[in-house]
Amino acid sequence: MKKDFIPHLFFGLALICLAGTLLIGSVAGIQYVYPSFLRESLAFYKIRPLHVTFAVSWIVLAIFGGIYYYLPRICNSTLHSRGLSRIHLYLFIATGAAIVVSVSLGIFGGREYMAFSPILSIPVLLGWALFGFNYFKTLYKKLEKWPVYLWMWATGIVFMLFTFTEAHLWLIPYFRNNMVRDLTVQWKSYGAMVGSWNMLIYGTAIYLMHSITKDDEMAFGKQSFALYFLGFAALLFGWGHHTYIIPVSPWIRTIAYIISMSELVILGNIIWNWRKTVSSSLKYADLLPARFLFSADLWVFLNLVLALVLSVPALNVFTHGTRVTVAHAMGTTIGINTVILLASVFYVLSQRYSTILERHCKMINRGIWVFHIALFSFCTFLILSGMERSEWMNAETSLSFRELTLSVRPYLIGFLVSGLGLATGVLMIIAPAFKCLHCFFTGNAQDESALSESDALYCGEV
C-alpha cells in the first residue's frame, strides 16, 4: 500500500462528506423557504439529520486524516498499527453508509444530532477507541516532551470517547425518565463533545502554525499551555450555558456562567496580540494553509464575541431557542473548524501536489473570498431571523407561529442565497483538492512535485 494511503483516503472521504454537507444543506435552505420542496421523499425531518451526519463526518474524518499523517512525522517513527487504522477506516465507511441509508429511509430512534438508531453508535465508538489506542501506542515512550498539540489531541480523543458514551445515557431509565435530567445530561455530553473535537481541531491548527513558523514558543510555551488548560476547563464545565433556562439546580448555571466568562481571557489575549497576529499574517499571507489559519483567527474573534454575549444568562434568555444560536453554531463549525481543517488538507496535499494547486491558485483564492463574504451574510441573516423570533417569544404578542414564519421569510431567503454562495465558495476551494487526491489514488506521477523541507505552496493574491 502506498505511503500515507490511509490519511489521504480519510481526507478524500472527508471532502466527499463536505460536498454532501453543502448539497444537503442547500436542500434544507430551500425547504426553509419552500417547505413543500421534496416533502414526500426527503422531508426536513430527514434532511436535517443527513446534513448533520455529513457535517460531523467531514470534521472527524479530516481530523483523523491529519493526525494519521502528522503523528508518525512528529514521533519520527511509523504508526503503531496500520492494520488498526484500516479497520478504523472501514468501520467508519460502513457505519456512515448505514446511517445515511437508514436516515434517508426514515429509520430513526436516537436523539438530536444522533438521530440514527443507537445500535449504529457501537461501531462509531469502537472506531474512536481504535484510533485512540493507535495514537497512544504510537506516542508511547517516543518523546521526552510533548508539545501542546499532542496534549490537545490526547485530551480530544479521551473526551470524545467519554462524551459519546455519555450521550447515550438516555438508554438507562434513571436518566430518561426525568425530563430535566435527560435534557441536561444530553447537552452536557453534546457541549463537551464539541469541546473535544475542538481540542482536536485547534491542536491541528497549532501543529500547522508550528510547522509553518518554526516558532517553538507556540508549541511548548507557557501561554500555549495556559490557554490549553483554560480550553480544557471550558470543555469540562462550560456546557451548562446550553441549559441556563432548564429548571436545574442553580449551581449548574452559576458554574457554567463563570467558566464561560473565562473565555474573556482568550478574547483579551487575541486583542492584546493583534499586532503580532497581523504582522504574522502579512508575513505568511502567500502560504495557502497559513491564509486559512489566519482567516480562522478572524472568525474566532467574531464568534467569541457572539459566544460571550450568548453565555450571559440574562442575555441568553433572549437568544436561546432562536436562530441566533444557529448562527453561533454555524459560524464556529464553518468559519473556524472547516477553515482550519481545509488548512490541514491543503498543507498535506501541497507536500506532493504543489504544481496542481498552483495552477488553481486563482480559483482557490476567489473561492476563499466568496466563502468569507457569503458566510458573513449567512450568519447575519440567521441573527436577524433569530432576533425577530426572540421578540415574538418574549413580547406579549398575538402573532401565531405561522405569521412569525411569514415575517422572517425575507431573512430566510437571504439565508438561502448566502448558503448557496457559501457552497459555491467551498466547491471552488476543494475542487483542486479532489484533483490532487485523484492523482494520488491513480498513481499519476506526472503532477507530483516533491517539496523540499523549505518549500511550501505559495498562492499569491488574485
Partner 1 sequence: MPIGRSVKQRAFFSLIFGFALYSFYVYTSGTTETADRVSISQAGESGRLLYQKYNCTACHQFYGMGGYLGPDLTNVMSAPGKGDLYVRALLKVGTDVMPNYDLPETEIDALVAYLTYVDQTGRFPEPAARKTWYGSIEIDD
Find the binding residues for partner 1 in span 51-90 (CB under 8 A). Answer: none
What 8-state DSSP symbol labels residue 402? H
Residue from 8, 253, 328, 360 touching partner 1 (CB under 8 A): that is 253
Which one among 27, 98, 227, 326 touches partner 1, defined by CB under 8 A? 326
Per-position b or e across 154-163, b if 16+ CB within 10 A of its CB: bbbbbbbbeb
Least Å distance between CB 123 and partner 1? 20
CB of 95 to partner 1, least distance (A): 19
Any contact of residue 254 with partner 1 (CB under 8 A)?
yes
Q: From CA 21, how far away is CA 57, in angstroms rounded? A: 9
Identify which range of 19-27, 93-101, 227-235, 452-460 contacts partner 1 by CB under 8 A.
Answer: 227-235
Shorter beta-carbon distance to partner 1: residue 87 or 326: 326
Least separation in angstroms between residue 234's CB and partner 1 is: 11
Q: Does 274 bind partner 1 (CB under 8 A)?
A: no
Nearest to 6 by CA among 93, 92, 65, 79: 65
Candidates 229, 272, 274, 441; binder of partner 1 (CB under 8 A) is 229
**H/E segment holding residue 460:** none
Q: Do residues 252 and 184 lie in contact, with contact meaning Cβ atoms separated by under 8 Å?
A: yes
The smaller minimum CB distance to partner 1, of residues 6 and 330, is found at: 330
Give least dist CB 356 to partner 1, A. 40
Q: Which residues within the stretch 157-216 sit at the binding site for partner 1 (CB under 8 A)? A: 175-181, 183-185, 187-188
User: Which helix (DSSP H) or strand (DSSP E) does residue 109 occupy?
Assistant: none
Contact call for residue 323 and partner 1 (CB under 8 A): yes
Which amino acid is present at 160? Answer: M
Cell numbers at residue 46, please?
A: 430527514
Determine contact, residues 339/292, Cβ cutoff 8 Å: yes
Residues 129-148 that bind partner 1 (CB under 8 A): 145
Assess 98 for contact with partner 1 (CB under 8 A).
no
Q: How far is CA 217 from the centre of its chain?
A: 26
Residue 39 found at the interface with partner 1 (CB under 8 A): yes
Please give the size of the binding site for partner 1, defined by CB under 8 A.
72
Footprint of partner 1 on residues 397-426 (CB under 8 A)?
401, 405
Exactly one of 46, 210, 360, 435 binds partner 1 (CB under 8 A); that residue is 46
Part in contact with partner 1 (CB under 8 A); list of ranges 34-42, 54-62, 65-73, 370-378: 34-42
Cα dihedral 148→153→158→159 (10° resolution): 90
Angle at 159 between CA 119 and CA 225, to 5 degrees: 160
Q: Choose which of 125, 252, 267, 413 interacts with partner 1 (CB under 8 A).
A: 252
- Is residue 65 a contact partner of residue 348, using CB atoms and an 8 Å limit? yes
| 308 lies in the site for partner 1, by CB under 8 A | no
Site for partner 1 in 328-387 (CB under 8 A): none
How near is the Cβ of 115 to partner 1 at its closest, in Å? 5
Rounded to a whole number of angstroms, the minimum distance from the CB of residue 121 to partner 1 is 14
Burial class (CB in 10 A: 0-12, 13-18, 19+), 445: exposed
Cα–Cα distance measured from residue 146 to residue 157, given in angstroms and rounded to the nearest whole number: 16
Beta-ladder partners of 458:
287
The only residue of 21, 31, 198, 418 in contact with partner 1, by rule CB under 8 A: 31
Give the rounded distance of the alpha carbon of 421 from its chain centre. Answer: 19
Q: Minimal CA–CA distance to 357: which of 272, 275, 291?
A: 291
**Does residue number 455 form part of the binding site for partner 1 (CB under 8 A)?**
no
